[in-house]
């Protein structure tokens, strides 16, 4: 989108593990890095926050300043607290909320699965759980 607006921003990619072939780097796209360059980390889903903080450490190791994390979904499983404990802001578009009930045999099951939008946007129900498999069982 920045390119379409005539102000292209450099993009970086953080690998989960260093490969033993190719460039063998944890951070790809590092040719565009300037020392102290502000970077926002984009995540699809935040669960515990651990993988996000590992990515932050990898980015800091190559000299950038991570100014925050933007996530599409916060699963509400402690990730926000973990990230904010490291003094990094987390901005999430949506959160996951599940209401639980029990069936006639006493087994727990989801009563309703929904995504609650933050920042004052209208709440919206997610599709039925069977349709969520494409999103990793969100």
pLDDT along the chain (138 residues), means of 10: 81 80 75 88 94 94 93 91 96 72 66 47 41 32
Q: Which CATH number fits domain 13-135: 2.60.40.1180, 3.10.28.10, 3.40.50.2020, 3.30.428.10?
A: 3.40.50.2020
CB 116 within 8 A of CB 94: yes
**Residue-by-residue DSSP string for 82-93:** HHHHTT--EEEE
Residue-level pLDDT at 15: 86
Residue-level pLDDT at 116: 46
Domain assignments of the chain as residue spans, ordered by start = 13-135
Residue-level pLDDT at 47: 94
Cα-based torsion angle of the residue sequence 60, 61, 62, 68 in order, rounded to the nearest 10 degrees: -10
Residue-level pLDDT at 125: 44
Q: Where on the phi/psi map is residue 112: left (φ > 0), alpha (ψ -120 to 50), or beta?
A: beta
Give the tens place of pLDDT for each residue, 38-73.
Answer: 999 999 999 999 999 999 999 999 999 999 999 988
Residue-level pLDDT at 5: 86
pTM of the model: 0.66
Q: Where on the phi/psi map is residue 132: left (φ > 0), alpha (ψ -120 to 50), or beta?
A: alpha
Q: Which residues of 76-96 are buried (b: 16+ CB within 10 A; e: fewer)?
A: eeebbebbeeeebebebebbb
CA distances from 24 to 32, 55, 117 (A): 17, 16, 39
Residue-level pLDDT at 88: 96
């Amino acid at each position: 989108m920045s390119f379409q607006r005539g102000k292209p921003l450099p993009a970086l990619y953080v690998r989960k593990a260093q490969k033993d072939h190719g460039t063998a780097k944890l951070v790809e796209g590092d040719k565009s890095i300037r020392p102290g360059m502000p970077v926002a980390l984009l995540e699809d889903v935040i669960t515990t926050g651990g993988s996000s903080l590992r990515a932050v450490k990898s980015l800091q190791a190559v000299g950038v300043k991570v100014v925050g994390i933007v996530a599409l979904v916060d699963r509400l499983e402690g990730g926000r607290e973990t990230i904010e404990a490291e003094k990094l802001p987390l901005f999430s578009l949506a959160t996951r909320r599940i209401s639980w009930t029990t069936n006639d045999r006493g087994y727990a099951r989801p009563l309703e699965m929904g995504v609650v939008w933050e920042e004052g946007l209208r709440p919206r129900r997610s599709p039925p759980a069977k349709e969520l498999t494409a999103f990793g069982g969100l």
